[in-house]
Amino acid sequence: MKGDISHKGKVISASDGVVKVEIISMSACSGCHAASVCGAADAKRKEVEVQSYRSFSPGEEVDVFLKRSMGMRAVVLAYAVPLFVVLAVTLALCYAGVHELVAGLSGIAAIALWYFCVYLLRDKIASGYAFTIEKNKII
């Protein structure tokens, strides 16, 4: 799947067209030879549910794919919009003559409100992300 974001994973369970896959998300520096000493490298285990009507068995090695455009959409929702919100609220209140401390705290409160709205709409947002799964190809 050319141009997609992919992760290697292991099937945890498979039933009724839903496959649960455990993927390990590693930071960019986790492959460094000094990663064990540095402490900056991290790897997080994540579980994803993938709709698939192909048969998979627990323990099977698979590749999980997400379209790059969906990854960019996640970055916009998680980082770009909150940055714009905090800047807009803080600068607007500063130009309106509000004390800087109040303007800054209001910007932080606006970000908290943004993330709360994202939390409330998490199911709707999640339905827009479609993972695909393939068995690992042995080369």
CA angle 85, 90, 96 (to 5 degrees): 125
The domain in which residue 104 lies consists of: 4-135
Please say whether the beta carbons of 3 and 17 come within 8 A: no
pLDDT tens, residue by residue, 36-86: 555 555 567 778 788 777 788 888 888 888 777 787 888 899 999 999 999
pLDDT at 85: 96
Query: Distance between CA 134 and CA 104 in Å, rounded?
Result: 47
Query: Distance between CA 90 and CA 111 in Å, rounded?
Result: 11
What total number of domains does the chain contain? Answer: 1
**pTM exceeding 0.75:** no
For the chain, what is the largest distance between any 2 Cα atoms, rounded to a whole number of angstroms? 65
CATH code of the domain in which 127 resides? 2.40.50
